[in-house]
Structure 1
Amino acid sequence: MSTVGGGRSEVEVKRVFIGAGCNRVVNNVSWGACDLVAFGAQNAVAIFDPKTAQISTTLPGHKASVNCTQWLPSNKFAFKAKGLDRHYLLSGDAGGAIILWEYSALEGKWRYVLQIPELHKKGVTCISGIMVSETEAVFASTSSDGTVYLWEVVFPSTGEGDCKLLHLDSLFVGSKPMVALSLAELPGNAGHLVLAMGGLDNKIHLYSGERRGKFVRACELKGHTDWIRSLDFSLPICTDGEAHSILLVSSSQDKGIRIWKMALRGSLDSSQSSRQGKISLASYIEGPVLVAGTTSYQISLESLLIGHEDWVYSVEWQPPSPVSSEGIAYCQHQSILSASMDKTMMIWKPEKTSGIWMNVVTVGELSHCALGFYGGHWSPNGDSILAHGYGGSFHLWRNVGTSLDNWQPQKVPSGHFAAITDIAWGRSGEYLLSVCDDQTTRIFSPWQNETSVGDEGSWHEIARPQVHGHDMNCVTIIQGKGNHRFVSGADEKVARVFEAPLSFLKTLGHAISQNSTFSEDIQLGVQILGANMSALGLSQKPIYVHAEQHTIEKNPNDSLDTLEAIPDAVPVVLTEPPIEDQLGWHTLWPESHKLYGHGNELFALCSDHEGKLVASSCKAQSAAVAEIWLWQVGSWKAVGRLQSHSLTVTQMEFSLDDKFLLAVSRDRQFSVFSIDKTGTDETSYKLVAKHEAHKRIIWSCSWNPHGYEFATGSRDKTVKIWTFGKDSSVKLLATLPQFSSSVTALSWASLDSKKNNGLLAVGMENGLIELWSLSVNRTDDGLAAGVLAAPVARFDPLMCHVSSVSRLAWRKRKCEDCSSIQLASCGADHCVRVFEVKC
């Protein structure tokens, strides 16, 4: 929560929702013993709870994109971590920095502990760590700079105290960097560790060392024929109460998985002496001997697993389960999870009689939009498996079977995986629409369930209306009566109009619960059930309600394997929040019109409050290209070309009565146009005011919802409040004190029915958000004479974005005088956020 006194009132801010996708890199996700999942979302570390499918927080601190995360203790040590209050997380970024975080399970609070002092010269690609005691961990990190660093970290035994960090060793691996690491304690040899690393030279390199000593190269394992992508040691395998061997699993871009066994030489010699003269298969596949101190280990290839059809990006042993309540004895399961770019995850187990490793579970292959998995992870208790995919998406399956395995898809958080450029609330605030450089448009909404009576419910992505071939830049929802429609603009010269299909209207009815005021009149006239994507095209074709019957009578010869024959989407009415496969294919909206006219990539869009006009602008370097086009809703004719600016118009907004259009531009000026809808099809317009307002680019503007005052925000770190008079004169009312960073987003909300008090939300380039109360003093004839401005809330950095805020938007209130109001924000950190502001 974030509260700041001062000004007219105290304001309390609470986090409601975070939507974010996962950075598309291997090793980015880690599932900890505390049953939380950590992943990188641009420069932030995001944390989500698989039980609620909600992102609980994002941790700011990295200056570059987060590449990898590692929990201490990880899911492998969950059997020891039942009573732990403090859990730790390591995160590494593309700049070479590694940060250690502390999580208090009791309080649910996060703390930045320290940054590892030794920086990698290039991006960190993998971090692997093990707990060697309850308060000590050893971890290794590797980078594309060709180095591997080893560290010991000692955690405070009580809640108080600091973490101590000890640099153990630096290993230089040469010009072919390592991209996969795994650490383990050697069985039967107290205090000795083994480090496996693999990478671009197709070999597995094994190093051994004492816990606080130097690590020496022991041997290398050959067999893979392409880059090694993932390595994971099991815990020591216990037989007769003693641990004699340990298993290492490796996966590669050669599509194969190999299991290696490291067995104590002593135990191996005694068994071999009894069967001298017999030549076993094992003697042919025995590998090198690893020497650690006075002990040696025979390495042999236990098994080769073939089943994936593409690169195998990750392999992981199923976490051990405790045998005793003390959490000392454990049972290491003979079970491996693999994830591949062939869009599948597989679970492998040895067959009971022959001992041959078999694929026993395969999930995920039905997805035609996942484009492969970058990694797979077990839950600490082994009943769930999580994959993260090429589309920044998560995919979770849970074993709900009792006697037989039955893996079913589960809800997960979702969101964009690139910079989000614009957001807009649904007409009555039922949902939030966002557009992004990941070439998708997404809809987020609170989903009411039976348990949340009277409450809003938890937020989920409920539709993906547009999947495009260009980066998306701007969007506006058309206000007024009739069906839900929006206009989006991308890195193309065309604006596209979309209309909600019947399947979405029914889904929205389920989301906001049928007993609400959601209009069913809209559904009656809608004949389009959903939409289909044309092959190699950018348009989304409608699927009509009555066409369902005709699809059955298709000629079977029509479905030849050509570029045109892509699978038909099946629009579905969702009765619970959808999973990734449903979103990517079955929730498209049909495109109804294209608006041609602009000479460059579209940059900004806005709609008037009546739902009769849409204004659009594009990137521009000259006055001729920087025109604002006006489009008539319905006929979609171009009814105006407004000229004033010489560079890109960055944002536009209509005044509440739709009589004026405000525009701000990169040329540091703002313009006010009068808009007069004279006849049924006629629109006249005139430039009535133009002013050079700031010293740098003006990024944002916002009208007072109840007057002719407006705010402008600029790269010069200032926000100015202006009033527009009856004689078309513009007067500066106030300049807010200089902010800490460029102002990139503004949104003005009304606070009371007297219409003089408001809240201005200010978003900045550094990701921070502030709220200012604005009280307008008016003369007897209603003109603004001055404005009283005071800061009322600075959002906690843990709640804010970690990169530039792109847009802020207040949700329409359900009641005029209710005490809370919601603010949505989006930013370059791939996050959509919703806050509750209590006034």
Structure 2
Amino acid sequence: MEAEGGEMTVEVERTFIGAGCNRIVHNVSWGACDLISFGAQNAVAIFCPKTAQILTTLPGHKASVNCTHWLPSSKFAFRAKNFERHYLLSGDADGAILLWEFSLANKNWRNVLQVSEKHKKCVTCISAILLSQADALFASSSSDGVVSIWEIIFPSSAGGECKLSCLHSIVAGRKPMVALSFVELPGNSGHLALAMGGLDNKIHIYRGERSGKFVRACELKGHNDWIRCLDFSLPLYANGEPSILLVSSSQDKGIRIWKMAVQNNDADSTKEETTLAAYIKGPIFVAGSSSYQISLESLLIGHEDWVYSVEWQPPQSSSIEGTECYQPQSILSASMDKTMMIWHPEKTTGIWMNMVTVGELSHCALGFYGGHWSPSGNSILAHGYGGSFHHWKNVGTDFDDWKPQKVPSGHFAPVSDISWARDGEYLLSVSHDQTSRVFSAWSNESLIEDGEAWHEIARPQVHGHDINCVTMIKGKGNHRFVSGADEKVARVFEAPLSFLKTLNHTTSQKSSYADDLPSNVQILGANMSALGLSQKPIYQYESKERNNNEGIDTLETIPEAVPTVLTEPPIEEQLAWHTLWPESHKLYGHGNELFSLCCDHEGKLVASSCKAQLASVTEIWLWQVGSWKAVGRLHSHSLTVTQLEFSHDNNFLLSVSRDRHFSIFAIKHTGQDELSHELIVRQEAHKRIIWACSWNPFGHEFATGSRDKTVKIWQLVNGSSVKVLMTLPTFQSSITALSWLGVDSQKNRGLLAVGMENGLVELWTLSSTRNNDGDVAATTATLSVRFDPFLCHVSAVHRLRWRSAKKSDDSRSVQLASCGADHCVRLFQVHV
């Protein structure tokens, strides 16, 4: 991406995206192109299962994404061998449906169209059938009780227009449908069946033609709770007669398999008497010249909780003459009981049995929302309550051997703050999902081109409150951070030995803390107490015989964490439980929920603020790192202090507030434990809330950004007064994040990263000349780069942070981290 003006050319590329999956059924789809789509807040995220990296996010939805569906999906992969372009449908909580085109040749995405007649309420399910390379049908269900059936005609050449037409709308009634599946009826060219299930516990079968409307054929009763998922098989050929199987899952914990067989009117009635179908007569419906008998084939009982999804193993290309493909008799089910099961009929009896069970063992997980097959049928993927993915691959040759694989991970609620480690070895993020997470580059990844890929390597804090702010302690010594949540206490966490050793595996360079190992770190890891919020340390030489009542399963006997040194990126089960950090201190003092934290650049002081409606509660507290004593209480503002930042020489503390003012405090260390502080400036700066501020690393200039869509550059003159140097041109949206990077100290030149409420990010080059007194004589600002919307967040940017480069690193390439309301942590490579 080239600069739009100015001397400095700046280019930006995506390095990493961390995001969790929206907690909703039908949200994930595995495409025939072997990419997986899922909704992450308002964005559609795409990840590659081979590299376990999120490749991109697609902006366009105004509300949370509920469901995604590939065209062709893994079910039709056998037809998609020569496709140059794949398509993706996504539906959101506002009822909007978007169609995306993915070009395999250049890996480009484009938004092809938005369905004009949107649903009145949220889209609950999308199911599609690929009729040919040129056209497809899809059905969408919604909470408004309507199921719409659409036809898409794909363009014949790249960049062409897609044509969309609504064939039919079915009003389902007061109890909406939440599960859909399409099938082409065998022996009947052009006739289709659509199965719908929902809140009335019945499966409704509709029949129709490619171009006409769909009419009710019959309904299937049997389930006694909401139907959650339906999936038709492709035709199975037994004794030359084609039949189709429909599998349904429900909140009644059961899975039912229904057989839809072509009725042969000339059949010998005596022969029919001997079949099971004679005893379980189901409804018959007519489509075209054929009639179809539906009967219950099997009832699968094995899950202990709601079964949210069932899916047939994708058909494989067949060598059998006359059949287009071979449909394996294998079903994958995923349930809220934290397991996925694979079911096959037994060879001798034909009875369907559970052959494989995989699942999550950690006690804190709350089950799976859906399970999916890979196009080849040798991998399965589940998405869970914690926004997490779980991927298993069959690595056995002669027998099944399912092994867990790496997956992308991230927060499943807005990410409120991020902070870099002292030398930028890793990035720490905190979120309203009540967790803090550590992301780091993992070297020597064979599948990544440059050998380095970012992964989540630890989850230090798993809390009972939404976490609002965090700061890493920048000083010497062990890794520590302070976090503040929707409680009045700040908590201090210290890295255990297992994490410090893991760090040496992640990067090719030795960790800057390697000298601290292992003599002075006695703590291996941490355990969560069953009913409390504190994380208790596990010591290196601790006795293993503490728990005497192991046989009794109570809340107090939750499993012990096993801190381990990771030699490769961890999977969800390890992250959720075995990478906790112990809590070393609690900082009491604030009167309300904590809102903002920052640490000085030497790691000696931490400043904190809380939410406030009254001037008496707005005070900023200063804490001494190490002793954790409160060494100062600063009064200035009348409403919540939204951000705090120390100047790079640590002499001044800048605070900005909802009261539209900023304040600057002079901070002086007068003795070992003593500190003096003085308010030197308090000034109204903007017309609306000030959300963000940032100091120039080379001097006492600073930037403030506000809801009034402006960024102002100020200078602190002689440590006693402030003057405004310039106001940048008005932005399109509220300013919610700022971060200033020093590029050239001789020319006092820097890059200011500006994050906005609409999710977009811009980089501005700021340079100034100083006069003999050190005051700024002239300042210029140039827009260097406006990030492509496909790189950016899709909701408000909450924080921007430049990665602190190592002293020896003279590279002209720097990294910028961002986090936002779209649940994403993003990392950009900026070439200056």
Distance 1:325 1:335 in 2: 19
Distance 1:770 1:325 in 2: 58
Two-structure CA RMSD over aligned residues (Å): 1.6
2:506 maps to 1:511 = yes
Alignment match, 1:69: 68
Alignment match, 2:29: 30
Change (3 A) 1:556 1:114: same
Alignment match, 1:754: 746
Moved more, 284-293 or 706-715: 284-293
2:286 maps to 1:291 = yes
After TM superposition, give the deviation of residue 514 of structure 1 in Å. Answer: 6.1
Alignment match, 1:237: 236
After TM superposition, give the deviation of residue 515 of structure 1 in Å. Answer: 5.0
Q: What is the DSSP-based 3-state SS (H/G/I as helix, E as strand, rest coil) of the residue aligned with 2:277?
A: helix
Distance 1:84 1:279 in 2: 47
| Structure-to-structure mapping, 1:20-59, within 5 angstroms | 20-59=19-58
Corresponding letter in the other structure for 1:769? V
Alignment match, 2:325: 330
2:609 maps to 1:617 = yes
Alignment match, 2:518: 523
| Structure-to-structure mapping, 1:231-630, within 5 angstroms | 231-239=230-238, 244-266=242-264, 269-273=265-269, 275=271, 278-324=273-319, 329-449=324-444, 451=446, 457-513=452-508, 519-547=514-542, 550-551=543-544, 553-554=545-546, 556-557=548-549, 560-630=552-622
Query: Are 2:526 and 2:563, in contact at CA under 8 Å, matched by a contact in 1?
Result: yes
After TM superposition, give the deviation of residue 792 of structure 1 in Å. Answer: 0.3
Q: What is the DSSP-based 3-state SS (H/G/I as helix, E as strand, rest coil) of the residue aligned with 1:748?
A: strand
Query: Are 2:378 and 2:393, in contact at CA under 8 Å, matched by a contact in 1?
Result: yes
Query: Are 2:815 and 2:830, in contact at CA under 8 Å, matched by a contact in 1?
Result: yes
After TM superposition, give the deviation of residue 519 of structure 1 in Å. Answer: 2.2
Distance 2:511 2:633 in 1: 41
After TM superposition, give the deviation of residue 282 of structure 1 in Å. Answer: 2.1
Alignment match, 1:18: 17
Query: Are 2:743 and 2:751, in contact at CA under 8 Å, matched by a contact in 1?
Result: yes
Corresponding letter in the other structure for 1:358? M
Alignment match, 1:642: 634
After TM superposition, give the deviation of residue 324 of structure 1 in Å. Answer: 4.4
Distance 1:14 1:630 in 2: 38
Query: Are 1:79 and 1:327, in contact at CA under 8 Å, matched by a contact in 2?
Result: no
After TM superposition, give the deviation of residue 118 of structure 1 in Å. Answer: 1.1
Alignment match, 1:672: 664
Moved more, 818-827 or 506-515: 506-515
Distance 2:451 2:664 in 1: 39
> CA-to-partner distance for each residue in 1:566-586, whole Å, 9 max, x for gaps?
111111110000000000000
| Structure-to-structure mapping, 1:802-813, within 5 angstroms | 802-813=794-805
Alignment match, 1:694: 686
Alignment match, 2:128: 129
Query: Are 2:477 and 2:513, in contact at CA under 8 Å, matched by a contact in 1?
Result: no
Corresponding letter in the other structure for 1:608? D
Q: TM-score, normalised by structure 1?
A: 0.97
After TM superposition, give the deviation of residue 518 of structure 1 in Å. Answer: 5.3
Distance 1:595 1:429 in 2: 26
Q: TM-score, normalised by structure 2?
A: 0.98
Q: What is the DSSP-based 3-state SS (H/G/I as helix, E as strand, rest coil) of the residue aligned with 1:506?
A: helix
Alignment match, 2:153: 154
Change (3 A) 1:179 1:584: same
Corresponding letter in the other structure for 2:22? N
Change (3 A) 1:355 1:786: same
Corresponding letter in the other structure for 2:375? P
Query: Are 1:256 and 1:304, in contact at CA under 8 Å, matched by a contact in 2?
Result: yes
Change (3 A) 1:725 1:452: farther
Corresponding letter in the other structure for 1:612? K
Query: Are 1:369 and 1:581, in contact at CA under 8 Å, matched by a contact in 2?
Result: no
Alignment match, 1:179: 178
Q: What is the DSSP-based 3-state SS (H/G/I as helix, E as strand, rest coil) of the residue aligned with 1:624?
A: helix
> CA-to-partner distance for each residue in 1:709-731, whole Å, 9 max, x for gaps?
00000000000000001151100
Distance 1:126 1:293 in 2: 28
> CA-to-partner distance for each residue in 1:364-423, whole Å, 9 max, x for gaps?
142323210000000000000000000000000000000010000000000000000000
Query: Are 1:340 and 1:374, in contact at CA under 8 Å, matched by a contact in 2?
Result: yes
Change (3 A) 1:584 1:644: same
After TM superposition, give the deviation of residue 270 of structure 1 in Å. Answer: 4.3
Query: Are 1:771 and 1:793, in contact at CA under 8 Å, matched by a contact in 2?
Result: yes
Moved more, 726-735 or 643-652: 726-735
Alignment match, 1:745: 737
Change (3 A) 1:374 1:413: same
User: Which structure 1 residue ranges, 5 or more long, are not aligned?
Assistant: none
Alignment match, 1:681: 673
Q: What is the DSSP-based 3-state SS (H/G/I as helix, E as strand, rest coil) of the residue aligned with 1:597?
A: coil
Corresponding letter in the other structure for 1:376? G
Corresponding letter in the other structure for 1:771? L
Q: What is the DSSP-based 3-state SS (H/G/I as helix, E as strand, rest coil) of the residue aligned with 1:507?
A: helix
| Structure-to-structure mapping, 1:654-803, within 5 angstroms | 654-754=646-746, 756-803=748-795
Change (3 A) 1:217 1:634: same
Distance 1:146 1:689 in 2: 60
After TM superposition, give the deviation of residue 275 of structure 1 in Å. Answer: 1.8
Distance 2:352 2:267 in 1: 24
2:817 maps to 1:821 = no
Query: Are 1:5 and 1:11, in contact at CA under 8 Å, matched by a contact in 2?
Result: no
Query: Are 2:654 and 2:664, in contact at CA under 8 Å, matched by a contact in 1?
Result: yes
After TM superposition, give the deviation of residue 100 of structure 1 in Å. Answer: 0.3
Corresponding letter in the other structure for 1:264? V
Query: Are 2:208 and 2:214, in contact at CA under 8 Å, matched by a contact in 1?
Result: yes
Q: What is the DSSP-based 3-state SS (H/G/I as helix, E as strand, rest coil) of the residue aligned with 1:564?
A: helix
Q: What is the DSSP-based 3-state SS (H/G/I as helix, E as strand, rest coil) of the residue aligned with 2:670?
A: coil
Q: What is the DSSP-based 3-state SS (H/G/I as helix, E as strand, rest coil) of the residue aligned with 1:275?
A: helix
Query: Are 1:4 and 1:10, in contact at CA under 8 Å, matched by a contact in 2?
Result: yes
Distance 2:2 2:796 in 1: 22
After TM superposition, give the deviation of residue 782 of structure 1 in Å. Answer: 1.8
Corresponding letter in the other structure for 1:261? K
Query: Are 1:231 and 1:251, in contact at CA under 8 Å, matched by a contact in 2?
Result: yes
After TM superposition, give the deviation of residue 286 of structure 1 in Å. Answer: 2.1
Change (3 A) 1:685 1:424: same
After TM superposition, give the deviation of residue 621 of structure 1 in Å. Answer: 0.7
After TM superposition, give the deviation of residue 159 of structure 1 in Å. Answer: 2.0
Percent of aligned pairs sharing the same letter: 72
Distance 2:241 2:668 in 1: 84
Change (3 A) 1:818 1:365: closer
After TM superposition, give the deviation of residue 104 of structure 1 in Å. Answer: 0.3
Corresponding letter in the other structure for 1:222? K
After TM superposition, give the deviation of residue 555 of structure 1 in Å. Answer: 5.8
Q: Aligned pairs, how many? A: 831
Alignment match, 1:87: 86
Distance 2:156 2:349 in 1: 47
Query: Are 1:752 and 1:816, in contact at CA under 8 Å, matched by a contact in 2?
Result: no
Change (3 A) 1:673 1:170: same
